[in-house]
Amino acid sequence: MEPSLYSVNLTRVNQPGKVCLELKGSILIIHKENWVSKYSLYVPIEVVNIEEEKHRNYRKLWESILGFMLAFLLCMPLSLWFFYKPLFYSYDLLWAIPLIALLFFALIVGFLGLSQFIKLNPAVSLIFHHRSRMMKMSFWIKPEIRVALEKLVSRIYELKKILETEDYIPLKVCPMWFHSKPYRKALLMGLAVSFVLFCIITIFVVLQIAGEYGEKIWWTYGILPFPPFVSVISEYIRRRLLWGVPKGFKKARDAFEKENYSTAIVELQKLLKEQPDLGIARFLLIQLLTEKGEYDNALKHCEEFYFQEPSLATEMKTTIWWLRCVKERMEHSPEQSQDVKDIIKE
């Protein structure tokens, strides 16, 4: 198998997170991992087109907007001190000074983000077809990764020429493995709800202080920890209290989410011996065997799964066949095949 000499970490244009491009054999692998999920997309190089472009960084625009919004929120309590200055004592400046410092910091962030948004930045785009639709991924070209990126791109063009001369059968699919972390996702959704509530409560508190009317609602900040807690607990209940799902399947699913595939496979095999007609267990077992590279065992279980879900089993068999082709292309570079042909001719 060709060593992974061609890999580079990139930042997607106007999207959060880092992406790793890795070239193995004649397959370009796109890895992305964040706090709540990760995926690996396998793209045959013959379907990849590469273009250099220039883009504006809309993330910098959002940074600018957030900076100006924070400055506006800071102006609201500072305006109380400005308009009602005679009512304040000299020691009241103790809370005004840090607010003024934060105000200037927010304005600096806003103007810097706006200036960086106006400027066009170099980027490289990968264009290919995934699931019968065109997919385009754009990445920023930063000075520190330019050399590694140029090396990767030149290698892709070199391999594409070899594939054209060798008459390789083109692969028309781009398989992808996706893994999610459900509890982290639930926590993130709960925190988002808490943030929205925090903004709403803060606006009402500031208006009450400015107008000096009504009972203060400081106590409402106490509800902010509840949305994340409720979101995580509801996810736990949804996953643990599923009626009719065997305990062995839950153990296998937990092991699968922890990427302990061997334990998950053993649990599912035990479960299928007891309940051979349990479709969800066989479906997960096929997925695990395929991801581990045990394609023959996966195909054998597809034959048994065919009697329960004929169309799904047929689709899975096709996917496994394509994945096997992708793995062979990853393990054997075109140069190796060319060398073997030259030896045979001699």
- For residue 108, give both structure tokens: 């600096």
Looking at the fold, whether 167 and 257 belong to one and the same domain comes out as no
Q: What is the pLDDT of residue 299?
A: 93
Looking at the fold, whether 172 and 104 belong to one and the same domain comes out as no
Q: 340 pLDDT band (50/70/90 cuts)?
A: very low
Give domain status of residue 1, yes or no: no
Reduce the DSSP state of residue 39 to 3 states and report it. strand
Using the structure block, give the residue that is written with the tokens 């106590």.
219
At which of 180, 202, 219 does a domain end?
180
CA–CA distance, 79 with 87 (Å, rounded to integer): 13
Reduce the DSSP state of residue 322 to 3 states and report it. helix
Q: What domain range includes position 232?
A: 182-241
At which of 219, 241, 263 does a domain end?
241
Q: What is the pLDDT of residue 317?
A: 92
Q: List pLDDT tens digits, range 148-167.
A: 999 999 999 999 888 888 77
> What is the CATH number for 325?
1.25.40.10
Q: 42 pLDDT band (50/70/90 cuts)?
A: very high
Give domain status of residue 295, yes or no: yes
CA–CA distance, 317 with 255 (Å, rounded to integer): 24
Give domain status of residue 346, yes or no: no
Give 251-317 as a DSSP string: HHHHHHHTT-HHHHHHHHHHHHHH-TT-HHHHHHHHHHHHHHT-HHHHHHHHHHHTTT-HHHHHHHH
Looking at the fold, whether 283 and 316 belong to one and the same domain comes out as yes
Looking at the fold, whether 65 and 199 belong to one and the same domain comes out as no
Looking at the fold, whether 252 and 325 belong to one and the same domain comes out as yes
Say yes or no to pLDDT of 301 above 50.
yes
CA–CA distance, 19 with 139 (Å, rounded to integer): 9
Q: What is the pLDDT of residue 345?
A: 38
Looking at the fold, whether 15 and 160 belong to one and the same domain comes out as yes
Q: List pLDDT tens digits, range 75-110.
A: 877 776 666 666 666 666 666 778 788 889 999 999
Looking at the fold, whether 261 and 316 belong to one and the same domain comes out as yes
Q: What is the pLDDT of residue 242?
A: 67
Q: What is the pLDDT of residue 285?
A: 94
Sheet with 120-130, strands from edge to edge, namely 49-56, 120-130, 133-140
* Helix pair angle (310-331, 295-305), 10° resolution: 170
Average pLDDT, the chain: 84
Say yes or no to pLDDT of 70 above 90.
no
CA–CA distance, 192 with 195 (Å, rounded to integer): 5
How many structural domains comprise the chain? 4
Looking at the fold, whether 321 and 236 belong to one and the same domain comes out as no
- For residue 113, give both structure tokens: 């983000």
Average pLDDT over every residue of 305-332: 89
Q: List pLDDT tens digits, range 256-295.
A: 988 899 999 999 999 999 998 888 999 999 999 999 999 9
Say yes or no to pLDDT of 206 above 60.
yes
- Between CA 147 and CA 262, with CA 329 as vertex, the angle to 5 degrees is 100
Say yes or no to pLDDT of 343 above 50.
no
Q: List pLDDT tens digits, range 97-143.
A: 787 888 899 999 999 999 989 999 999 999 987 667 788 899 999 99
At which of 74, 96, 118 does a domain end?
118
Looking at the fold, whether 129 and 48 belong to one and the same domain comes out as yes
